Structure 1
Amino acid sequence: MTIDWSLGAFYAAGRCVYGLVQVFPSTPFPCIDSVRQRFYNKRILNTAKNWRTMDRKNLVNQSIDYIMGHLDEDLSLDRLAAHVYISKFHFSRIFKEETGESVYAFIKRCKVDQSAVDLKLNPTKAITDIGLDYGYSASNYSTVFKERHHTSPTGYKQSIPAHSMPVPFTPERTARFKTAEEYAARIEIQEFPDIFVIYERFIGSYVDIETHWYQFFDQYKAFLREETVLIERFFNDPAITNASQCICDLCLTAEPDCSLDHVMRIRGGKWIVYHYDGEIKDIFETLQGIFNIWLPQSGYHMARRYGLNLYRRIDRGNHSVVMDLCIPIS
């Protein structure tokens, strides 16, 4: 018999088997001799005990990643709980405590918000088809969209700004877009390898990113090297999602064998890379221009439901940065 003792498989087995041990404490495991069984049970139970006190954010982060990667599928509480190997009741409680939203409300919100992104990026695609992509009939889609965004999908599509828009964090400012040709002049298509990172996730306004970065540096300063790249992975368009509900991962590059809990692999592939050199306050304007003007006309399609900001230089004194704004494409 071959047992996979890799960490991921071990945690998965620990969560699952611990539940069985609790329900059937006197039931022997079949097909394992007594010595191996005792050794196996001891390791599983030790892992399960660690898991019970381990970082609950890790578990919720895994479930959020799964949700964001499967928004165009039928996502149920049972399916998500099975993905992280715990009971749906326990998972539901942890998720609500960590995010402030029920699993159902979170999924519904993300589906509707992502459909709004699709309306922006796919101007020629029928609204009914976009609704169907997320499991909604034409009438249901209009209802849930209006509940969330206070306008119909048709009204939203007609209101997508083509020249300028207010900045949601500072309404007194107006973001003014360039032409598609001007954006194209600073964009390259690049192939990225897989990137391994140490990360912390926060849910809240992107305005608070600076504060979160300082906390992140304090926590992981021992892992900063000269070659370290700082990365933001953002899941939401702040022009669509409420400021308090935006998801962002703060990351620093790490070795694949890093032993910390909060380590993940960002898949490589083909990305558009916009080389940004300017003030921090103008990043929103640039990204909105890329999403509203350049990308819908480019012939490319956004391949995943997140983008990356890779920091190349930071000038705190002048509140400016050199960075690559990256969007995965197909």
Structure 2
Amino acid sequence: MADLPNLANLDYVHRVNRAIDHITRNLADPLPLEELARIACFSPFHFHRVFRALVGETLHVFVKRLRLERAVQWMWYRPSASLTEIALAVGFASSSDFSRSFRAHFGVPPSVFDVEAYRRRRRDQMIDTLVPDARHRLARLPAGANPDHFTPRIRDLPKRRVAYIRALEPYTSQGVPDAVARLTAWARPRGLAGGQWLGYQWEDPEVVALEQCRYDVGLEIPPATPVDAPGINVTTFPPMEVVELDLSGGIELEMRALDWLYKTWLPTSGYVPDHQPGFEAFLGEPFAHGSEHFELRVQIPIVDAATSL
């Protein structure tokens, strides 16, 4: 989505983001053009054209890609699930339709796809982009290792209303710092900057190409707070259960924490990741401690493994 400065274009971005949020949260459901156009307040004809112009993909290609990428996540997190279960859970009508689409996108059928090798390549690309001289320090933490003595806790989070600005290509641009600055400039005069700041993304960068990842800089706001500033979107997260870790350090510590949660804690916890983004819940404003040191809580939404899929 291009950086579009005038108010009309910011309104289009706002409306398309509403449709993207609906798609991301409802991949298992049919997503007809007419419904998404209504959510974005466009006619179906204009929505299709505006979506392609801003996102760079047709609506059909975008939805199918998200479903396939979500399927790869489920193949990793839920290895006991059948391909049919995964296909239906991400919105394909049948396992045969899923297999055809998967092979067309990834080059091999899902039955022989090496998820671990694929994620390893994506992770290496992310590290080379973020900290090109530090791959030796960011090797994946092996299962069972916990050298940082991470201590998780389970929390129930209430329903939250969040004002956010979406940063595109967050790993390869200044989109995140710019979004922080814009949202802070809006929040401070309104006395809201002391609230809970969040960073979150729906895509897993170990599955999704970095240039197609989206990162939202968000701020929890009271239910009745009006938000009428161009480019600032509003979303509501439902009540959710999360596993949470406190972090005080740099990106290396955060990546080790995520490795430990996904490879050591989750497989023996009785939980699996929920259909929600992972959150960085900042202590204070984002980047209050600089861009190399973070004070935050990592929060991964979870559901009981016995009731998932």
The TM-score with structure 2 as length reference comes to 0.78
Question: Contact 1:119–1:157 at 8 Å: present in 2 too?
Answer: no
Q: CA deviation at 1:279?
A: 0.8
Where does residue 105 of structure 1 map in the other structure? 61
Q: Does structure 1 residue 204 correspond to structure 2 residue 169?
A: yes
Write the letter of the residue equivalent to 2:218: C
| CA distance 1:149–1:287, shift in 2 (3 Å) | farther
Q: CA deviation at 1:307?
A: 1.7
| CA distance 1:199–1:156, shift in 2 (3 Å) | same
In structure 2, the gaps of 5 or more residues are: 1-6, 304-309
| CA shift digits 1:226-265 (9 cap, x unpaired) | 6232211210100100111112211123232222232332
| CA distance 1:293–1:123, shift in 2 (3 Å) | farther
Where does residue 193 of structure 1 map in the other structure? 158
Secondary structure, in 3 states, of the residue corresponding to 2:127? coil
1:291-306 map, 5 Å: 291-306=262-277
Q: CA deviation at 1:185?
A: 4.3
Q: Does structure 1 residue 94 correspond to structure 2 residue 50?
A: yes
1:1-330 map, 5 Å: 55-133=11-89, 134-157=91-114, 159=116, 166-171=123-128, 173=135, 174-180=138-144, 182=146, 185-208=150-173, 211-218=175-182, 220-224=184-188, 227-261=194-228, 262-312=233-283, 314=287, 316=289, 319-330=292-303
| CA shift digits 1:60-83 (9 cap, x unpaired) | 111111111211122221232233
Q: CA deviation at 1:283?
A: 2.7
| CA distance 1:196–1:78, shift in 2 (3 Å) | closer
Question: Contact 2:165–2:216 at 8 Å: present in 1 too?
Answer: yes
Question: Contact 1:165–1:175 at 8 Å: present in 2 too?
Answer: no
Secondary structure, in 3 states, of the residue corresponding to 1:309? strand
| CA distance 1:181–1:170, shift in 2 (3 Å) | closer
Counterpart-to-counterpart distance in 2, 1:84 and 1:315: 35
Write the letter of the residue equivalent to 2:176: H
Secondary structure, in 3 states, of the residue corresponding to 1:168? helix
Counterpart-to-counterpart distance in 2, 1:73 and 1:184: 40
RMSD: 3.1
Question: Contact 1:120–1:296 at 8 Å: present in 2 too?
Answer: no
Q: CA deviation at 1:317?
A: 5.1
| CA distance 1:90–1:211, shift in 2 (3 Å) | closer
Counterpart-to-counterpart distance in 2, 1:318 and 1:55: 30
Secondary structure, in 3 states, of the residue corresponding to 2:242? strand
Secondary structure, in 3 states, of the residue corresponding to 1:55? helix
Write the letter of the residue equivalent to 1:197: V
**Share of identical aligned residues, percent?**
23
The count of residues paired between Structure 1 and Structure 2 equals: 279
Write the letter of the residue equivalent to 2:242: W
Counterpart-to-counterpart distance in 2, 1:181 and 1:268: 31
| CA distance 1:139–1:265, shift in 2 (3 Å) | closer
Counterpart-to-counterpart distance in 1, 2:206 and 2:44: 33
| CA distance 1:84–1:147, shift in 2 (3 Å) | same
| CA shift digits 1:44-94 (9 cap, x unpaired) | xxxxxxx97871122111111111121112222123223334311111111
Write the letter of the residue equivalent to 2:99: S
